[in-house]
Amino acid sequence: MKQPNRAVALAALLLLPAAAAAAQRDVAYTYTGTVHAVQTTTRSIDLIVGVGMALRLVHIRAAPTTSMAGDGGPVALGDVAPGDVVRADCRMTDTGLVADRIEIKRRGQ
Amino acid sequence: MSRAGTWCTVALALLAGGCQRVLKPGDPLPGLTRPERDRFDRGKVVFDSVFTPQTGLGPLFNSTACGECHEDPAAGGRGDEVEVHATAFKGGLCDPLVEEGGPVIQQHATPALKQALGIDSEPFPPSASARAARTSPVVFGRGLLDAVPDSVILKYADPDDKDHDGISGRPNRSVDGRIGRFGRKALVPTLEEFNDGAFVAEMGVTNPAVASEETIGGQPIPPGVDPVADPEIDAPALDLANAFVRFLAPPTPSQLDREGQRGRTVFTDIGCAACHIPLLRTGDNPVTALRNKEFAAYTDLLLHDMGPDLADICLGLATEPEFRTEPLIDLRGATAFLHDGRAATLEQAIEAHGGEASASRDKFKALPPSDRAALIAFLKAL
């Protein structure tokens, strides 16, 4: 019984950092903000978010699997325009924020 | 009647008569519970706390304490500081210039930042299309303004001037699309968010709601310049500061004499009250002292075009000439008027109104001297 226990403990020790890192990567972020810029070539958007007058810029990439919605149906990234208010459900990856879903909540002026 | 009976009768008479205490600048709202009053008192300590670089100040900042800018005639009052804001209006959209440090241009730097970069203030954003000066207003009664339902604000909105009265107020929207009401351009939807953001934008004090510092004109803070770990104040301290501001009462307007009463009529007759709505009513609220209260607000919390002479920056949906109707609260001690303090008297402030307010301004100018004096007397009683 001692050998399997040691193996399990060793496996746990080895897997723990990887599991922790994966958990960290999987942390979900939801941002609702005003679109500052849309880059269709890199499939990304910059969102203005913030609290009060302390405003921040968030860079979010859209993956091929990112669900895009707005105007009562599906939309393309190119349909998103600066000034639109969008909600982006994202997760942090090694290369930054990637959106699982982007929804246009309000069209800009 | 016994002595106890007499006192009971007097107390009942006072209650029945709606005896109300005269509220001075800095007083708490009437009707706070004991725990709320305790938070108000402890929040005032946070509000007046002076931050240093060792306790989180900076590296960029406009002031060292909330109470440094909001101090006259009591904590929560006005200040003589004038801030600098900047944005860019391009392609029909307003850019708050976040990539260049954001719309608030901090005017001071900590010694460590000055040593690292050789700057005394945040660099003015090169892409800015406009610059604005902003005075520090009183924050009395802001908890009541916060408690006014959005539906009330929308009720007064008439963006297309469908009633053809020349007034076309519209709400601003925050970056996430909610109806705004705080700030001279009404960008910010709630009092709590305005305060949370102000800790960082005005003092460089990070907090649980805004955990990251402002950039230095869009560039990261040099290493070693901001050694205090974020957040630089904790949630309980932030909550107390918010409670203090939320529970500040609007001072009771002075009793109007005959001239002041005449001025109140003139205020309505010449159209001031079309935007400076005299009374607003709060909605349901967890705080009894803020729930279903009618109060003298003299604002509709909407954006109005004030004409090219007052125009400065855009912000959110607000274009350069659009400003939120300023609440007329505690005017009696004011010595500078309008968003940038350019007017030294109420007369000058009224005469500087343009755009949608042009007709009212012209009526004011055409008033006989006695009616002008009456209007000013009324405003000075607020």
Q: Please tell me if residue A32 touches chain B, with a CB cutoff of 8 Å.
A: yes
Q: Give me B379's structure tokens.
A: 């405003």
Beta bridge partners of B219: B216
CA-nearest of A48, A45, A38 to A59 is A45
pLDDT surpassing 80 at residue A17: no
Categorize the per-residue pLDDT at A85 as very low, low, confident or very high, splitting at 50, 70 and 90. Answer: very high
> By the 8 A CB rule, do A61 and A44 touch?
yes
Give the strand pairing for A96-106 and B322-324.
Answer: unpaired
Residue with tokens 């000034």: A83
The verdict on a CB contact (< 8 Å) between A52 and B194 is: yes
pLDDT score, position A100: 97
The verdict on a CB contact (< 8 Å) between B197 and A33 is: no
* B313 exposure class (CB count in 10 Å sphere: 0-12, 13-18, 19+): buried
Instruction: Go through B172-210 and write b for each residue having 16 or more CB atoms within 10 A of its CB, e for each that does not.
Output: bbbbbbbbbbbbbbbbbbbbbbbbbbbbbbbbbbbbebb
Residue from the list B96, B173, B209 with its beta carbon closest to the beta carbon of A48: B96
Q: Please tell me if residue A106 touches chain B, with a CB cutoff of 8 Å.
A: yes
CB contacts, 8 Å: B103 with chain A: 53, 55
Q: Please tell me if residue B200 touches chain A, with a CB cutoff of 8 Å.
A: yes
C-alpha to C-alpha distance for B338 and B381, rounded to whole angstroms: 18
Classify the C-alpha dihedral B181-B187-B192-B194 as positive or negative: negative
Instruction: Look over chain B and give the mean of its residue pLDDT values, rounded to a whole number.
Output: 95
Give the three-class secondary structure for B78.
Answer: strand
pLDDT surpassing 50 at residue B183: yes
The verdict on a CB contact (< 8 Å) between B198 and A85 is: no
Categorize the per-residue pLDDT at B10 as very low, low, confident or very high, splitting at 50, 70 and 90. Answer: very low
Categorize the per-residue pLDDT at B331 as very low, low, confident or very high, splitting at 50, 70 and 90. Answer: very high
Better pLDDT: B284 or A109: B284
A·B CB contacts under 8 A: 76
> By the 8 A CB rule, do A52 and B209 touch?
no
CB contacts, 8 Å: B132 with chain A: none
pLDDT score, position A13: 47
CA-nearest of B84, B105, B77, B65 to B340 is B84
C-alpha to C-alpha distance for B141 and B148, rounded to whole angstroms: 11
> By the 8 A CB rule, do B70 and B22 touch?
no
**Each residue of B128-164: pLDDT tens digit?**
999 999 999 999 999 999 999 999 999 999 999 999 9
Q: Other C-beta atoms within 10 Å of B255: how many? A: 9
Q: Give me A19's structure tokens.
A: 């599991």
C-alpha to C-alpha distance for B160 and B356, rounded to whole angstroms: 12
CA-nearest of B301, B68, B69 to B180 is B301
Mean pLDDT throughout B268-274?
Answer: 98
pLDDT score, position B303: 98
Categorize the per-residue pLDDT at B333 as very low, low, confident or very high, splitting at 50, 70 and 90. Answer: confident
CB contacts, 8 Å: A56 with chain B: 98, 212
The verdict on a CB contact (< 8 Å) between A106 and B177 is: yes
C-alpha to C-alpha distance for B41 and B12, rounded to whole angstroms: 30
Q: What is the DSSP letter of B303?
A: E
Determine which helix (DSSP H) or strand (DSSP E) holds A24, and give its type and residue range.
Answer: helix A2-25
Q: Please tell me if residue A48 touches chain B, with a CB cutoff of 8 Å.
A: yes
- Say how many CA atoms lie within 13 Å of B14 toward its Cβ: 9
Q: Give me B150's structure tokens.
A: 């959005």
> By the 8 A CB rule, do B205 and B233 touch?
yes
The verdict on a CB contact (< 8 Å) between A51 and B198 is: no
C-alpha to C-alpha distance for B324 and B194, rounded to whole angstroms: 15
Cis geometry, peptide bond prior to residue B53 (ω within 30 degrees of 0): no
Q: Give me B113's structure tokens.
A: 């930042």
Q: Please tell me if residue A51 touches chain B, with a CB cutoff of 8 Å.
A: yes
Give the strand pairing for A54-70 and A96-106.
Answer: parallel
Please name the amino acid found at residue B56: G
Q: Give me A69's structure tokens.
A: 């919605």
CB contacts, 8 Å: B98 with chain A: 36, 48, 50, 55-57
Residue from the list B92, B176, B200 with its beta carbon closest to the beta carbon of A85: B176
Q: Give me B134's structure tokens.
A: 């902003």
pLDDT score, position A27: 84
- Supply φ then ψ for residue A79, to 5 degrees: -80, -15
Can you give the pTM of this predicted structure?
0.90
Mutate to test the interface with B, among A48, A55, A85, A86 (most CBs of B within 10 A): A55
**Each residue of B112-130: pLDDT tens digit?**
999 999 999 999 999 999 9
The verdict on a CB contact (< 8 Å) between B201 and A54 is: yes
Q: Which residues, numbered 163 to 182 in chain B, qualify as contacts with chain A under a Cβ-Cβ cut-off of 8 Å?
A: 173, 175-177, 182
C-alpha to C-alpha distance for B313 and B356, rounded to whole angstroms: 18
